[in-house]
Structure 1
Amino acid sequence: MDEVTYFSKPEHIFPHLVDGRIPTEQFLSACQGIADFVGFLGTAFAPVKADISGNVLKVRTRFEKNKAGQEFLESLIDSDLAENNGKLGIATEGLLWLKRGLEFMLHMLGRMIDQYNEGGDRSKTESLVSVINYAYDHSLKRHHGFVSKQLFKLVIHAAPYRKTILKAVALGKEGLEDVCIHHMVEHRANFTQNVNALVNYYVAKGLETPNPT
């Protein structure tokens, strides 16, 4: 498949782990790619995009100060914690919420892929409301208070149709739905590994509790 889509661009691809560690620079580039993808969901999702981008910036600001010593995300986390007496600093708190946002997006993309590949009458799964609801229930919901949950319910119902998203992923080209899904499947592999490694590191450091779901 020679067609270029949003998720086949090198700058949007999450890095391969190196001895179980996450290369910081490529990780942050891919995270910004996820934030920009959220922009495809429409103006109702602008706060979600801004939240992810803002947290990427917090981590990148710290990374830029010492790239060599923070080549891997785990080193950046350790360094930030050390400077803040074992407590979350600006970068590690930003990364905590970035991690949570990534978990949401990973569930969302995964659900989109699975529904598309189930075949059958795809018109029945064109609406992304159930996809986003599923992703929210399995990620961000446990971290949100009552007000945030109510606001997110409103956002979810502004979700576009899958065909609109896939056309955006195809960079505006028609008839590339299968190619887009294929590239999303390939993208999901490293995305999953990166998120799982980050989740496990935060849990191991006592900075996050495991997701019960």
Structure 2
Amino acid sequence: MTSSSPVVAVEPNDVADSPGHETYFAKPEHFFPHLTDDGKIPTAQFLSACQGIADFVSFLGATFSLVRKDIQGNVDKVRVRFEKDQEGQKYLQQLIDADLAEHGGKFGIATEGLLWLKRGLQFMLELLTEMVTAYNSGLPRDKTEDLSGAVATAYGKSLKRHHGFIAKQAFKVVTMAVPYRRQILKAVALGQEGLDDVCIHHIQCHLDNFRLNVKTLVDYYIEKKLDTPDV
């Protein structure tokens, strides 16, 4: 996981599109939700944001297709469960509890899918954080265009501990095939040129809610003894 420093949730209006400055990460449907006062995650907006992350992976090129397929598949598993009882599973914690109750306290399709979804989200959160950090590092921008190191770092902080030998070897190919940052940011800018600063700002604002949602989900899985703390 990322730093344990206090997290302040950011509202979508804080990164609202302005004419000529529209970006992928400023779209309200891609924003992770604000938590309730008692720390619950609104399921519908969470799934919408996860769909946004799955679609964003397409910007990373064909080599990331398996990553996208994995995230998308797990989003779909959780969505199927949610659509059975949207009111009773309005919050993600309710959905987890309902799925566990239906399966005698053991993993169901939705809770197992959500387990791997949160791991995929941790990877994407780390990758986006690394992107923003490198861009804002003060180094010459052309020296930080190559994101292969960012992908490797993000993988090492998230998915690597859960993968076997074959998956780890496959991910080395993914690491080396990531497009340059300028290509990704052009996609984030919806094809517009010259909006790198705006894109990075929107991604950076997006990360606070993203991080808070992931941390809350990780903590709930540990509380329910469905996963163990990262070591």
TM-score range, shorter chain: over 0.9
Equivalent residue, structure 2, for 1:7:
25
- In structure 1, give the amino acid aligned to 2:28: P
Equivalent residue, structure 2, for 1:59:
78
Q: 2:172 aligns with which of 150, 153, 156?
A: 153
Show the 5 A alignment for 1:85-164: 85-164=104-183
Deviating beyond 2 angstroms after TM superposition, the runs of 4 or more aligned structure 1 residues are none
How many Å apart are 1:120 and its aligned residue?
2.2
- In structure 1, give the amino acid aligned to 2:167: S
Equivalent residue, structure 1, for 2:58:
39
Equivalent residue, structure 2, for 1:181:
200
How many Å apart are 1:89 and its aligned residue?
0.2
**Structure 2: distance between partners of 1:15 and 1:63:** 16
**Structure 2: distance between partners of 1:154 and 1:115:** 22
TM-score (normalised: structure 1)? 0.98
- In structure 2, give the amino acid aligned to 1:17: L
Q: 2:224 aligns with which of 188, 205, 212?
A: 205
Equivalent residue, structure 1, for 2:95:
76
How many Å apart are 1:4 and its aligned residue?
1.4
**Structure 2: distance between partners of 1:175 and 1:206:** 47
- In structure 1, give the amino acid aligned to 2:40: R
- Deviation per CA, 1:61-90: give whole Å up to 9, x if none: 000010000000000000000111111100
How many Å apart are 1:94 and its aligned residue?
0.3
**Structure 1: distance between partners of 2:222 and 2:230:** 10
Tell whether 2:35 aligns with 1:17: yes
- In structure 2, give the amino acid aligned to 1:180: C
How many Å apart are 1:130 and its aligned residue?
0.2
**Structure 2: distance between partners of 1:70 and 1:88:** 17
TM-score (normalised: structure 2)? 0.91
How many Å apart are 1:170 and its aligned residue?
0.3
SS in 2 for 1:68: coil
- In structure 2, give the amino acid aligned to 1:21: K
**Structure 2: distance between partners of 1:141 and 1:160:** 21
- In structure 2, give the amino acid aligned to 1:198: L
Unaligned runs of 5+ in 1: none
- In structure 2, give the amino acid aligned to 1:106: L
CA RMSD between the two structures: 0.7
- Deviation per CA, 1:99-127: give whole Å up to 9, x if none: 00000000000010011011221111101
**Structure 2: distance between partners of 1:128 and 1:115:** 9
How many Å apart are 1:35 and its aligned residue?
0.4
Q: Percent identity, aligned pairs only?
A: 63
**Structure 1: distance between partners of 2:117 and 2:175:** 19
